[in-house]
Amino acid sequence: MAGDGTNSASALSLNFCFGRRNIIGLRFLHLAFVTGIKLWFGRTEQPCQPHFAIPVVSNNFMGTLTKLVFLILTIASTTILRAQEIKSTNYYLSIKNFNLSKLWCADSILLQDDGKTAAFPEPLGYIGDSFQRFYIHYTSITKSSENPYSYSVLGKTRVKNNICNFKGTITIEKAKLYNESDDKRFKEGSLVCRVLLFEDSTENSSGFIKGLMTTEFCIDKHKRVYYDAIMIDADGYSNNQCKASWTSYKTKESKKCNWGDFRMPESRGLDSGVGEVYINDKFIKFGWQSFVDSESADEDKAKKASKLEDEKWWK
C-alpha cells in the first residue's frame, strides 16, 4: 500500500539499507544515534552564556565533532553487521524434496501468526531509469520432472498498456535454513533463484528478462513448506525480491527491471516510504497514479483507483 510519508528521513534511509532480519541492528543504531546527540549537547552546553549569544566554534571543537560522528558511524556499522550475521545451515540438497511453486504462484498465502489466509500479493515493479511501473503475473509455475531445482514458468508482463506473454524458468541456486526463527513453530529459510523469462518475440516491445530473486520460506514440523509471512506486519516487510534486467529483442538495449512482493529492491529513488511503499511525487506520472490514489482520503477517488489496482489485467 502507499504510505503517508510522515516518517523521519533517518528511519527512511535505514529501511533501504538493511533487510527485514536486522531489527536488532536498527535498534542499536538508533541507540548509538541518540547517545551521540546527547554527547553532542553535553559538549556544547554553555550555561554561562546568555541565550542570545552566538557560540564560537573552534577548530578543536570541530575536530571533536568529527571524531564523534565517526564513532557513531563505527558503532552503528558494527552492530548492523552483527545483526546481519544470523547463522544458517546449507539446505540446498534438501530443498529439492519440496515443491516450491506456491512460493511464487498461488491463490492465497497462510498468515502464520493467526492461521488465517490472505490473497497472494501481486508484485510491485519498475523498469528503466524513470521507474516506469512494471507489472508481472505468473499464471502457472510447475516443478520440472527432470531437474528438481528447476521450475517452468508461464505468465504475462505489462508496461503501460503493452502486455506480453512469457515463458521461462526459475532455478534454485542456493538454499539455507536460519538457526533462529521469528516463530518457534516454524523453521525459516531463504532461496536465491536464477530467473530467466522470454517474452513472445512476435509481440510488440518484447524482450527477455534475466536476474536473481531472493525468496523467504518457512517449514512447519510436518515438513510442509510455506510462503514466509511470519513478519508480514513488520515495517519494511518484503518477499520474492527480484533484481533483473530486461533486454529488447529488437534494439538489444537493456534496462533495470526489478520487482517484489510488498516492496521493490533497489528502489530508493522511487519509494521513500518506511513502513510501506510511498511513491515520490516526481515519479507518479510513470504509471503510479492509481497506486497512489488508492490511498487517497477522497473516498470516491480511492474507490476508483482501487478498482484499477485490483483489475486482473492478465486475463
What are the pLDDT digits (tens) for 163-220?
Answer: 999 999 999 999 999 999 999 999 999 999 999 999 999 999 999 999 999 999 999 9
Instruction: Tell me the three state secondary structure of residue 86.
Output: coil
d(CA 128, CA 245): 9
Q: Which residues contact 99 (CB under 8 A, 6 or more apart)?
A: 143, 225
Q: Give residue-wise pLDDT tens across range 11-33.
A: 433 433 444 444 444 444 444 44
Rounded CA-CA distance 12/177 in Å is: 29
Q: So what's the pLDDT on residue 294?
A: 97
- According to the model, what pLDDT value does residue 64 have? 55
Least Cα distance to 116 among 267, 272, 232, 289 occurs for 232
Identify the CA nearest to 188 among candidates 74, 21, 14, 24: 21
Residue 82, pLDDT score: 42
DSSP code at position 297: S
pLDDT (0 to 100) of residue 104? 98
First-last CA distance in the chain: 23
Enter the C-alpha cell of residue 12: 527512511
3-class DSSP assignment, residue 34: helix
**pLDDT value of position 62:** 53
Nearest partner of 248 among 237, 257, 236, judged by Cα: 257
Residue 86 has a pLDDT of 81
**What's the pLDDT at 72?**
54
Q: Show the low-confidence residues of the chain (pLDDT under 70).
A: 1-85
Measured between alpha carbons, how far is residue 56 from residues 52, 60, 61 in Å?
A: 13, 11, 9
Asked if 242 and 260 count as a contact pair (C-beta separation under 8 A), the reply is: yes
Antiparallel, parallel or unpaired: β 239-248 and 225-227:
unpaired
Contact status, residue 239 vs residue 227, Cβ threshold 8 Å:
yes
